[in-house]
Amino acid sequence: MSLSRIRFLASAVDTAQSALAALVARYGQAEAADAEVIVALGGDGFMLDTLNRSQALGLPVYGMNQGTVGFLMNAFSIEGLLARLSGAERAVIHPLRMQALGRDGVVHKALAINEVSLLRTGAQAARLRISVDGRVRMDELVCDGAMVSTPAGSTAYNYSAHGPILPIGAEILALTPVAAFRPRRWRGALLPMGASIGFEVLEPEKRPVNAIADSSEARDVLRVDISSARDISHTLLFDPGHGLEERLLSEQFQ
C-alpha cells in the first residue's frame, strides 16, 4: 500500500527535532486531516503518547527511534522512507480501559496501551482484593502493587516485575504482582482478553494507592476496574522481519 502523505511528529529532544526538520524537508508535511500515515520520532513513551493523541484520526503509526529503548520503534533513516512505509508489516493492538474511583469521589477514566498499574504511595505495603468478572479471586494481596498488561506492553514494566511475555495474538492479559509479600509465592495470573478485572484497595487511609494507566495517574484510589477496550484499535507499522510479533518472541530468548 502506497503511503505518501505523511504527518511527522517528534518528541521535544534535540535529536528528534533535528530528524523532524530533515524529514519534513525531504518528504513534506501533510496536514492531519489529509495524512495517510503518521511517522513518530522519539522513544517508546512518545509512541504511546502519539497513539493516544491520534486515536481519533484512525491512521497507522510508524515509529523511528530517537529515544533510548525503542521497542515499538523502527531504526531511523532519512533515506527510503516511502518504500519502508509501503512494505511495512501491520500490528493491530487494543488498549486497556481504566476506571478508578478516588477517595474524593472523583471517577478517573483513562486508556493504557501498555499496562494499568496500582502502586503503594506510603511506607506500608498495599492490601488489594482482586475480582475477575465480578467474582473475588483473591481476598487479600499484600504487595507493593499489581498491574494488568497487554501483550504489546508485556515486555515493559510487566517483564521487569517478572511477569510473562505474551505473544501479540494471544488474546491474553497478564495480571502481575509487584513485590508480593502475601501470598509470598504468588506470581500472577493469565486472563482472557475479555475479562473484567477489579481491584479494591483495603485500608486506603493507612495504605494509600495510586493507579496509573501508562502515564495517566489517578491518586489515592479506592477501586480500579480494568478491561480491554476492544472498540478501540491502533495500527503500528514495522519494517519486514522486525514486527511486533517477532520482537516479542525474540525478547524471550535474551
Positions annotated as catalytic residues are 44
Dihedral of CA atoms 8, 242, 252, 217 in degrees, nearest 10, equals 10
| Other CB atoms within 10 A of residue 166 CB | 23
The size of the chain, in residues, is 254
Residues 182, 186, 192, 193, CA torsion sign: positive
Dihedral of CA atoms 187, 192, 193, 199 in degrees, nearest 10, equals -50
Instruction: Give me 128's grid cell.
Output: 488489594
d(C-alpha 113, C-alpha 151), whole Å: 9
One-letter amino acid for residue 226 of the chain: I
Map residue 238 onto helix, strand or coil: strand
Which helix (H) or strand (E) covers residue 127, if one does? strand 126-132
Q: What angle do CA 160, 197, 248 make, to 5 degrees?
A: 35
Label residue 160 left, alpha or beta by phi (over 0 means left) and psi (-120 to 50 means alpha): alpha
Map residue 23 onto helix, strand or coil: helix
d(C-alpha 158, C-alpha 176), whole Å: 7
